[in-house]
Structure 1
Amino acid sequence: MSSLNKMLNVLNIFGPGSLIINVDDIAKKLSLSRATAYRYVRELCDAGLLTRIDTSYTLGPRIIELDWMMRQHDPLISHGREVMADLSKNTGLTVYMSVFYDGHIINTHIESDIKKYGFTFGRGRPLPIFKGAQSKVLVAFQKTNRLKKIYDEQIEPSDDYNLTWKEFNSETKKIRKDGFCVTHDELNLGLTGIAAPILNLENDDIIGSIAFVGTTSAFELFRFEAVVERLQQATARIEKGAHLDNEQETDNT
């Protein structure tokens, strides 16, 4: 592993339960000397990726700048923002866009007419790997070898799940066959989620998901088939837009 990769691994230590970290913790978690940990932290601070708080460190202002740029130029968000806003306005439900990267699932964009929706997992906070509609869709549409790795490394060892490989494989197959996933009370009590995948039109790889989330009583106001149809129409529009962007970029190179 290169020195750059080792330095960037410092950022992987931060999480919802570890927002402020000292150099001794960094050195211990990454098996570094204290001098090397200090050097990495200093360089990350110079780049704005970390900032010092007394004798400890937290994420720096450069993260916010990168986040703003991602919101402006990420192809899924740029093509999904208006689609999701229309879905939320016309249904009264909250609409999530989510992605899977490096073993993590996060919501990257949310559209909602509800001022205080109070959901546990907002934008940027990691979701459980196989709980909630958007998480299950993002996992289920992974390639078979990737699915087995997810199960072996994150599902089977965790006390949060009670699934054999056979049960896990069967559930993911059903989600792929249906083309969507519905969950109740898995992330927040009293809430229902319905999610569908966003696929790369060139190779059918999953690149994201869109989900309706709302109270279970709110969903009772809609015909289920109509909700799924609107969701899949939305993902198709986003897929097409992202595909056209990719084609234009290819033509320009």
Structure 2
Amino acid sequence: MVQVPAVRNALRILNLLSSVGVPLSASRITAELGIPRSSVYHLLTEMEEAGYVMPLPEEKTYGLGIAAYSLANVYATQQPLVNLGAKYVRNTAEVVAGCGQIARLVGPEVLYLYDYRSPGAPVSSLAAGARLSAARTASGRAIISALPETEARSVYTIGESAGLSWRDFQTECQKIREAGFAEEIDESVRGFRSLSVPVLDHLQRPAVALTVTFLTSRDIGEKEKEMVVTCLQRGATELSQRIFGLGAKQGSSFMGRVLNGAGPLRGKLNP
């Protein structure tokens, strides 16, 4: 078998950065992998140009870039996940006479993979194949909030920031994690409101988001909103278990709230 050391070492660096979950310095990468420091710098430069790593000059470290995340997330586009997820967004959308979407992150944007319009629901621009700024949509925010901070910052830096500073955007992401869902009103599409939750893969990273969108003028109460969020969360949890093999006790703060009956829906998930 022909061996290509540079390719192998580049993959080792990607595996290291993805496994530790925090940015690392070149010297730390050298120490962990035993690759000569000069080779590490050369590889990091090439990987940065290709978008697979992102330098953080103020910290003199490197984290995963957008290209690495997009590659890892490609599995989300495969048919089983969309097929299984479709029933959850369909059923939930009909609760509010709205539309249901499945979306994934592609660089600084969300790509809508699936769209369902319940009978009588108005047409929105969130059709399958549409791309919108991730930071301005509930789908994108749900996914970004479940990313490691360095990757979330990459998306924020490259894309539209929705008029928020990085500090304010961090605060918004923290609120989403605490609530267990993302919400936006009249931001991505005027006249529409969206609720969204992420689906986690076997590495407990966000694969896609399940979203329901409906008219802002449809003034739903807290009880109806809670019902929509609960349905989406249950769907996301089941998809994580069936597609990615997460156990009933596993998951991020999003999934943990659903599975353990915590957070804003405490005591209402297990009738």
TM-score relative to the length of structure 2: 0.56
1:202-242 deviations in Å (ceiling 9; x for gaps) = 32100010111001233526622222111111211222221
CA contact (8 A) 2:103 2:111 kept: yes
When structure 1 is superposed on structure 2, of 185-194 and 110-119 the one drifting more is 110-119
**Hey, what does 1:173 align to over in structure 2?**
174
Distance 1:123 1:195 in 2: 16
CA spacing shift, 1:147–1:205, aligned 2, 3 Å: same
User: 4+ residue stretches of structure 1 with deviation over 4 A?
Assistant: 70-73
CA spacing shift, 1:177–1:129, aligned 2, 3 Å: same
CA contact (8 A) 1:211 1:231 kept: yes
CA spacing shift, 1:116–1:216, aligned 2, 3 Å: closer
**Hey, what does 2:232 align to over in structure 1?**
231
**Hey, what does 2:112 align to over in structure 1?**
107
Distance 1:194 1:72 in 2: 21
Distance 2:87 2:120 in 1: 18
Which of 117, 120, 123 is the matching residue for 1:118? 123
CA contact (8 A) 2:95 2:228 kept: no
**Hey, what does 2:152 align to over in structure 1?**
147
**Hey, what does 2:204 align to over in structure 1?**
204
Distance 1:116 1:193 in 2: 14
SS at match of 1:169: helix
Q: Identity of counterpart residues, as a percentage?
A: 16
Q: Say how many residue pairs are matched.
A: 171
Give the alignment of 1:237-252 within 5 angstroms: 237-244=238-245
SS at match of 2:159: helix
RMSD: 2.6
SS at match of 2:135: coil
- Supply the AA of the counterpart residue of 1:198: V
1:115-165 deviations in Å (ceiling 9; x for gaps) = 673212311111112112112112222211111222222246xxxx32211
SS at match of 1:217: coil
Distance 1:219 1:78 in 2: 30
When structure 1 is superposed on structure 2, of 81-90 and 211-220 the one drifting more is 81-90
Unaligned runs of 5+ in 2: 1-74, 247-271
Distance 2:170 2:111 in 1: 22
